[in-house]
Amino acid sequence: MIVNAKSKLRHWAGVAGRRLPWLRAFGGRLGVGRWLAPSGTRDRVVLDGDVVIEFDLSVPIFRHIFFQHDLNQSAELRLMSRLADAETVFVDVGAHIGYVCLVAAKYARKVLAFEPSPTTFAMLQRNIQLNPALATKVLARQIGMGSSKGAFSLYTSPSHPGLASLSPIDAPDAVAQSVDIDTLDNVVDPSAGRVGMLKIDVEGAELDVLTGGARLITRDRPLVAIELVEAHQRRFGRACADILRFFGERDYVAVEVPDHLDPPRPFTPDAIERDGAVNVLFVPRERVEAILAAAGRKND
């Protein structure tokens, strides 16, 4: 009875916390999430109407997402539902636990999902299994993407599974493990269909992924979604300007896609300094007008 009551309270707190900012702050100070989600607790949210995602609520970052962050309003999920193309392939580099690639699977012809962390990949597989109608469209591989093929050290934090990087991370529980890395040009077979959209979330190694997929980008000219974070780029001795230069050389235009259902807007480099992290969609110049219209349309 107590377990069932806690489950109902957890569901209510999650719904309320995602909708009421003042309640999120209040609950966070009191540790309500920790009390409602003791060790080993798993719970689910539904995205885009019918995509089921399960979270391990013993992990702080997943508690934060479950109780405080409405993924349905995120820039990434908005882009999937509006821009993924039923005639093309969607590629997710840094697929994490799968909420982006599974929503994309509703709209794309096929999804290729790459996640190198063994622990996170197991969660990704679990969420794919929870969505059998979409599972047949998703090919997930426990491998990372970079500029060359080989075995590399991946630095992760058990308390923050989303923080995984090929460069050392600043976390008290950071651990390193050897993972396989390959390139997009090696692993994405052109015979599988044209890549229409590419999402990259690799904590600062984005330029390596782009370099390793330069032929694919030139050939298919996909939309490319990246979160630009200057601090992540500095860990690799780079800057966000290097990514902007890569796309500028290929005649792409950068568009900022804010969270919380705001319309897309032209990207300006000072947005990174202003906001710290900016969701950017890189669009082939010849498609900018059509893509802006599609990305900005209101939900039905």
What is the rounded CA–CA span in Å between residue 277 and residue 230?
Answer: 8
End-to-end, the C-alpha distance of the chain in Å comes to 40
Neighbours of 259 (CB within 10 A): 15
What is the rounded CA–CA span in Å between residue 28 and residue 46?
Answer: 23
Q: What is the pTM of this model?
A: 0.87
Q: Which two tokens stand for residue 214?
A: 């330069």
Which residues on neighbouring strands pair with residue 93, listed in sequence order?
114, 200
Q: Which two tokens stand for residue 38?
A: 């003791």
Give the pLDDT confidence of 140-182 residue by residue, as tens digits: 999 999 999 999 888 777 766 666 777 777 777 778 888 999 9
Report whether 240 contacts 216 (CB < 8 A): no
Fold classification of 71-296 (topology level): Rossmann fold (3.40.50)
What is the rounded CA–CA span in Å between residue 51 and residue 88?
Answer: 20
The closest alpha carbon to 74, from 50, 99, 54, belongs to 99
Report whether 255 contacts 287 (CB < 8 A): no
The closest alpha carbon to 27, from 71, 66, 73, 70, belongs to 66
Give the pLDDT confidence of 231-286 residue by residue, as tens digits: 999 989 999 999 999 999 999 999 998 876 677 888 988 888 776 789 999 999 99
Q: Which two tokens stand for residue 137?
A: 């469209």
Note the pLDDT of residue 10.
59
- Any idea where the domains of the chain sit in the sequence? 2-68, 71-296
Give the pLDDT confidence of 115-137 residue by residue, as tens digits: 999 989 999 999 999 999 999 99
